[in-house]
Amino acid sequence: MLAALLITLDLLVVAHRGASAVAPENTMAAFRAAGTAGADMYELDVRQTKDGQLVVVHDSTLARTTDVERLYPDRAPWRVSDFTLAEIKQLDAGSWFGAGFTGQRVPTVREAIAASSDGPGLVLEVKNPTKAMDAPLTQLLDELPSDTIVLSYDWAFLRRLQTHAQRATLGPVSLARLPSVAAFADLVVVRHNSISVPFVRRAHKLGIKVISTTVDRPAVMRRMLASGVDGMLTNRPRVARNVADMKPEFDELRNVIGDMLGR
């Protein structure tokens, strides 16, 4: 279970769209790089194609991260939902990032899962979920380990799926809303500039773990450690792993300060 994983780790390092600072986001190259960099899990974005297949793409369109405009010039605005899986598989999803990644393809979710079987765990962020996605996602989640995290901005969707995967929600979540979130979530992923020591303490009292997003600068990573977060989403998992080694020192300092303040 995710709770057991968090207990055994000083800090959960989640590679955002894979190690997307060094490889094209949401590609197999980025996922492999995340494992090499020491990430505990990698996050990928899930969308549905015209023919109902689940693929790994962040944006609602394919324009930014593939050569779709060159291959299909007359099909603007190039929405993922307007293309079949076979059409999407023709696209180059790597050369926009660098010539060395030419030929990377948009993976299916199942391909990404297969790649993680002996590596980092999975965080699936479902983008703009519809009820048409419930059945294929439910089938998928029933086959995945119990520590799989499902993220979405759509809380109704998460409630529908919460019996099939580790429960989670994606912010923004305010301090005031934490009690209502606790009714169906045991993990929140929140922008780092919305996280404070009181926020993390309140979440922990409610039994909610906190992961910050998206943190790439060491100074911000250290601030997150000082706030007591349980994990960080980052494009630079190797940097985060190095910073995570400092967590015991931050925990000791925070406990000393807490004792001085009588907390």
Q: Where are the beta strands (DSSP E) in the chain?
A: 12-16, 41-48, 54-56, 121-126, 149-151, 169-170, 187-191, 209-213, 231-234
Rounded CA-CA distance 236/253 in Å is 26
Rounded CA-CA distance 234/25 in Å is 12
φ/ψ (deg, to 5) at 126: -90, 120
- From the list 16, 164, 192, 204, the catalytic residue is 16
φ/ψ (deg, to 5) at 61: -115, 165
Torsional sign, CA 226, 122, 181, 60? positive
Helix or strand holding residue 100 (H, E):
none
Catalytic, 204? Answer no
Catalytic, 58? Answer yes
For 185, the token pair is 């979530």
- From the list 58, 164, 192, 204, the catalytic residue is 58
Q: Which residues are catalytic, by number?
A: 16, 58
